[in-house]
Structure 1
């Protein structure tokens, strides 16, 4: 009996594995770009402009190094002058005590110069070298005017030292030398370096405003303290140190308000001791003696 032989079945072919899908990795730059509130195109445009600006700066620096910008600026100034932008007039205001001749000599040096070539800051700094000028404003008034406004210092006292007299302002700046008696009613500060103490002295007197108007002068003693002179002839010796001097001055102002110390027979007040006050009276003047012979001769001359 013939037997049927089973053909071996072919093995099922295994399915070929599908190729792995590549995963795109996002760089930190892309992550940063996605967090910005701008599109990628806008960012690229900004980067382009920054790059162009950097190139422009480098080109300008190279041209300046080579001296090309100075030449171009000179040509520009020459063209501006031809177009009428040239200093033809100078207007100076605010001068009362300043030497006008010196100011005009300085400012008129810019006359006939092209407006772009006028160094405003240099003109201002040159003006500030004069003691009377506290500040100055310089401006171009196109097309052809240079305007200068002077702000003067105000004299507040006369500084006397070693036989010299000078007007000074509230900051102690020397304004001009004067002769004795030319300061008018201004108070006189005596002593070397007294002008450097002007600000501190004004601050001290401001604490006793009732007395400040009566002060006619002050002496800086030993480079450490003040003696105040009053219009009625008295002298007040104050202690060293700002706090101690202010306290003594206030105490004196209270005593003067109660007892009327100024304008009497007292000539010197010493408040250097914080616990005691010393007053000195004016010396008494004796009446002039008249000889009896003079009296008799006068009587004889009056008889008929």
Structure 2
């Protein structure tokens, strides 16, 4: 029964996703030629005032694509009895939605009814990486926006407590490989984590030890100081010491036993993922090339039906 249940869950998830063959880098060349510059300005203006914006936009895009494809369903507000994705437990810490609102307003003013919110989010995520010192790439465009957003479906998101088998299954259900898993995990080079995402490694780890023995002892001690058992609601730490710069230090930290999440450490638990992590730790160029490939692949998972006039509500 357990095997049958897992199979049905996989089939249900896969039914939400498709890889779009109609996306193209010049999709708006005639209908909205300035779309990329308008979005870039909105992201740059917001990031100038808040250094947390780039990490927030990258994470937002990832969380969008893993639920029903990259259809901007994460942007929809809850309405009445319907609790939307953004209010699901894994997403309550998402922020900077106003940046997408600002970009959409600018784009609608220039070319109303043309550009989807899903495309705006995909482009904003790319611009966020660039603003953080990371690579640029041509974002395929032509996504449509979804009309369904359910908080209950956010349980499908890969959790920071996942082991390598759970991660592999989660990515595979979306047509993403182990190569994609390791490359996209590098997005953890940006941002901040609340204590709740890694408390399992520093408090009551198992029946014999309180702290994950694979954590660097001094690093674990610093985490415990920041995140005591009854920690402040918003307490946490930067994902890495250079958490506003897009680099390959994340992979180096994994091998130094200073990665925050169980899911980060899990990359060392399979030969292929460990070798890829080592490759990226030793070469930023190799990491950025792989990251670009995997971002394009992930962001090409589609599932929408319309172009919203307002990213927070369906038409």
TM over 0.5, yes or no?
A: no
Which TM-score band applies after superposition, normalised by the shorter structure?
Answer: under 0.3
TM-score scaled by length of structure 1: 0.20
Higher strand share: 1
Structure of greater Rg = 1
Higher RCO (CA < 8 A, seq sep 6+): 2
Q: Which has the higher helix share?
A: 2
* TM-score, normalization by structure 2: 0.20
